[in-house]
Amino acid sequence: MSGIKTTIPVVEMRQVEGREWWLWIAAVAVTLVLTFGILSLAVPVLHSPDETYSLNLKEWVRGLAALVLLFDIYTLYQQQQLHRIRRQLAEREQIFHLITENAADMIAVIDRDGKRIYNSPAYQKILGYGPEELAATSSMDQIHPDDLARVMEASAKANSTGRGERLEYRIRHKDGSWRVLESTASAIRSSEGDANGLVIVNRDITERKRAEEKLAHQSFHDGLTGLPNRALFLDRLQRSITHSRRHKDFKFAVLFIDIDEFKVFNDSLGHAAGDTLLVQIAQRLSASLRGVDTVSRPRQSGDGNSYIGEGTLARPGGDEFTLLVEELHDPSDAIRVAERIQRRLAVPFDSNNQQIVLSVSIGIAFSSAGAVEAQDVLRDAEIAMYRAKSTGKARCEVFDHAMHAGAIKRLQLETDLRTALELKQFRVYYQPIVSLRNDQIVGFETLSRWQRPEGLVMPGEFIAVADETGIILSINQQLLYEACRQLRSWHAIFPSDPAFTLSVNITPKQFAQPDLASQIGKTLQETGLDPRNVNLEITETIAMADADRSALVLSELKALGVRLDIDDFGTGYSSLSRLQHFPVDRLKIDRSFISCMDTDADTREIIRIIIMLAHGLGLKVVAEGVETQVQADMLKDLDCELAQGYLYSRPVPSEEIDQLLSKNRTTGVSGRLGKAASSTSG
C-alpha cells in the first residue's frame, strides 16, 4: 500500500497542512510579543521611572495574559479541527483500502508519466503478476502492441478532460495469453486543476468477449460442417455485387451444389451416418478449393485445375452447398470449377466401411449488370440447379432468362393453386371403365380438373407442381371425399352386380405420407363406401422407388380392404417379376402401347405378352386410351378384361355420368358410351 496517500483527497490534505502552518506563525508571533513584554519589564532602562510606570506594567501584564489566553483557546480549537479532519481522512483511507483490495475489478493509480503508484490485488488474481513484478514494469508494458496507440491516446484524453472514455484493449497475462480488459480512467487533479495522474478501473471481459464471438460465429456458421451459413454467404455475395457495380470488369459466379438422392442415403444409412457423409463432402469441397473460408488464392496455371480469385463455400442447409467464385476471368472458369467439384465428389466415400458413390447437380448464376440483391442471384443459381436435376442429375446448368421466366410462372402457379383450393375450384371428372366382354360400365376413374374463370385446366398442367409442393394432399383429400359420396349415390340409384368401382390416382407425395392408409380409411368410413369398391392406382415408378417400403405401405392399404392397380404399366421398370411381390389386383397398360397396337405388330406382341404374364400372376388387365373399335376388338381377342378410353367416354362431370347411366337403364345396357359423353369432355 505504498503511495496510497496520493489517492486521498488532495485538497483537504492541503487545507490541513495550511492550518498547521498558520498555527505555527501564530505561536511564533505570540512568543515574540511575550519575549518583548518580559524584556521591557525586566530592563528599567527601557522605560522612565515615573508614576505611571506601575500603571503601565499592570496594563502590559493584563494585555499579555489576555493574548496568551486567546492564543490558547485558538490553538485548542484548531487542534480539535485538525484531529477531526485527520480522523475523517483515516476513515476514508480505510474505505478506499477496503474497496480497492476487495474489488473484482483491477484498480490502478498511475502518475502523469505512466509510472505505477498503486495496483489493487486483483491484478495478481487476473493477470498473474505480483506487486514486485508490476513495480518493475511500466503500466504500458503488457498492453498488446496493436492496442497501445489507442490506450495512450485515451489516457492523454483522460488527463486533459478529466474523464476518459470506455476503452477495450488486450493485455498480456503472465502465462503469455491475452486477456481483454474494459477500462475507464479518471484524472487526479491538483487544487490548481492540473492532472497529477490517473485512477484506472479495469474489468476483465475476456470470457464475455469469447462468448460473444462464439455466438457471432454460431449465428453465421453451420453447426455441422463449420462452414458459413446462408446469412453469411448472402452477406459476402452482397459485397461482391456492390463491388462489381463499381468495378465493371469484376466478375463472379454463384454455384449451387445439391447432392443427388441424398435423402436415400440419409434414410438408408441413418441420420448420424448421413451427417458424417455431409461433413466428408464439405471437407472434400473445401479441399478442392484449398481453403474453407474466403481465402485469397493466386491464379494458377498449367494443370487445368487452375483457378481464380477468391471463393466462399457455405452450407445454406440440408444437402446443399453454395460457392461464391470471385474474380472470374471468363465464365468458363466457373464451369471448370463445377466440373472439378463433380470429379472430386465422384470418388467413392467411405461410410462405416461401406462405399458410397454419389453425384451432385450444380446450378451456376453469373454476376450480371442488373443484379442488385444477393438473394436474387442465389435464387437464380438454385433454379439452374433444379433444371440440372430435372434434366437427368449429375449435371451442371447455367442460369438463363428462360429459366427465370419458367420459375416465375411456376411460383405463380403455386400461389394460384393455393387460392384455387380455398375457392374450391377443383372438379372431379369421371371416366368410365368398361368390360370388354359386354361393353358394360364396371367403374370410373376419377380425374381432376381445375375450373378457372378463364377455362378448364387439365391435370398435366398442375398435378406435378401440386405434388411437389404438397398441395396435392389437400386437393385429393377433397376429391376423394366427393367421389366416394358420388359413388354411393350411383350405387343407390343405379344398382349393378357387381357394384361400380372407383379408381383413384395416388401421387408420389401422397404415397410418401406415413398416414396414407389411415387417411383413406377415415374417408371411406365417413362416406360409408365399401372399401372393396375402391381401386387405388399407383404407378410402377412409385412402387419401385423404395421396394421394401412400398411392400409395407401397399399391405397397409390392402388391409383396408381396397384394391390396388398398377398404373401406366410399361412406362417405368416394366418388371412383372418384381411386381409379383406386391399385393396388386390389376394392371393398367399405358396408353402409349394401345395407341399404336393396331398399326404396329411388335407392340401388339408386347401387349399380348404383358396380358399373358399378368394373368399368370392372377392380375386383371385394363387397357388405357382405347380410341378405336379396332383396338377394342384386338384387346378382346387378347383376353384383356377391361378398357378405358375416348371410344367409350371422355372424362366427364358427374351429371353427364348420371345421364349416361339413366339412358343405359332405359335402353338396356349395351353398345358404346363414347358418343353420349364426348361433347362436354375435358
Shortest Å, Cβ 678 to ligand C2E = 10
505 binds Ca ion (CB under 5 A): yes
Shortest Å, Cβ 432 to Ca ion = 13
Q: How many helices (H) and strands (E) does the chain have?
A: 24, 21
Q: From the list ligand C2E, Ca ion, none, which binds 297 (C-beta under 5 to 8 Å, kind-based)?
A: none
Shortest Å, Cβ 567 to Ca ion = 4
Shortest Å, Cβ 435 to Ca ion = 18
Q: Decide whether 142 or 535 has the Cβ nearer to Ca ion.
A: 535
**Which triple of cell numbers denotes residue 198?**
490517473
Q: Which of residues 445-484 bind Ca ion (CB under 5 A)?
A: none
Stretch touching Ca ion by CB under 5 A, among 131-139, 285-293, 297-305, 530-538: 530-538
Q: From the list ligand C2E, Ca ion, none, which binds 447 (C-beta under 5 to 8 Å, kind-based)?
A: ligand C2E
Q: From the list Ca ion, ligand C2E, none, which binds 646 (C-beta under 5 to 8 Å, kind-based)?
A: ligand C2E
537 binds Ca ion (CB under 5 A): yes
Q: Decide whether 225 or 644 has the Cβ nearer to Ca ion.
A: 644
CA–CA dist 472, 100 (Å, integer): 72
The amino acid at residue 624 is E
Q: Decide whether 180 or 643 has the Cβ nearer to ligand C2E.
A: 643
Q: Decide whether 319 or 567 has the Cβ nearer to ligand C2E.
A: 567
| Consecutive H or E run containing 510 | helix 508-511
CA–CA dist 140, 159 (Å, integer): 16
507 binds Ca ion (CB under 5 A): no
Helix, coil or strand: residue 254: strand
Query: Which residue, among 652, 656, 620, has the nearest Cα to 639 in the 3D structure?
Result: 620
Q: From the list ligand C2E, Ca ion, none, which binds 197 (C-beta under 5 to 8 Å, kind-based)?
A: none
- Which region holds residue 651: left if phi is over 0, alpha if psi is between -120 and 50, else beta? beta
Residue that is written with C-alpha cell 496510497 in the block: 4
Shortest Å, Cβ 647 to ligand C2E = 7
Which residue lies nearest ligand C2E, judged by its C-beta?
A: 645
Query: C-alpha angle 449/450/452, rounded to 5°?
Result: 140
664 binds Ca ion (CB under 5 A): no
Q: Which of 567, 582, 586, 589 binds Ca ion (CB under 5 A)?
A: 567
Q: From the list Ca ion, ligand C2E, none, which binds 631 (C-beta under 5 to 8 Å, kind-based)?
A: none
Q: From the list Ca ion, ligand C2E, none, which binds 463 (C-beta under 5 to 8 Å, kind-based)?
A: ligand C2E
One-letter-per-residue 3-state SS of 259-308: ECCHHHHHHHHCHHHHHHHHHHHHHHHHHHHCCCCCCCCCCCCCCCCCCC
Burial 387-406 (b: 16+ CB within 10 A, else e): bbbeeeeebbbbbeeebbee
The separation between CA 356 and the C-alpha centre of its own chain, rounded to angstroms, equals 28
Q: From the list ligand C2E, Ca ion, none, which binds 458 (C-beta under 5 to 8 Å, kind-based)?
A: ligand C2E
CA–CA dist 123, 106 (Å, integer): 6
Give strand ranges (E) for 15-73. none
Query: Which residue, among 673, 138, 657, has the nearest Cα to 435 in the 3D structure?
Result: 673
- Give me the residues that bind ligand C2E (CB under 6 A), please: 431, 446-448, 458-460, 463, 476, 479, 505-507, 537, 567-568, 591, 624-627, 644-646, 651
**Which triple of cell numbers denotes residue 407?**
420459375
Q: Decide whether 10 or 516 has the Cβ nearer to ligand C2E.
A: 516
Q: Do strands 441-452 and 501-505 pair parallel, antiparallel, or not at all (unpaired)?
A: parallel
Shortest Å, Cβ 519 to ligand C2E = 14
Q: Decide whether 127 or 536 has the Cβ nearer to ligand C2E.
A: 536
Residues whose CB is less than 8 angstroms from the CB of residue 482 and which lie 6 or more positions away in sequence, other chains included: 428
Q: From the list ligand C2E, Ca ion, none, which binds 427 (C-beta under 5 to 8 Å, kind-based)?
A: none
Shortest Å, Cβ 378 to ligand C2E = 32
656 binds Ca ion (CB under 5 A): no
Q: From the list Ca ion, ligand C2E, none, which binds 625 (C-beta under 5 to 8 Å, kind-based)?
A: ligand C2E
Footprint on this chain of Ca ion (rule: CB under 5 A):
505, 537, 567-568, 624
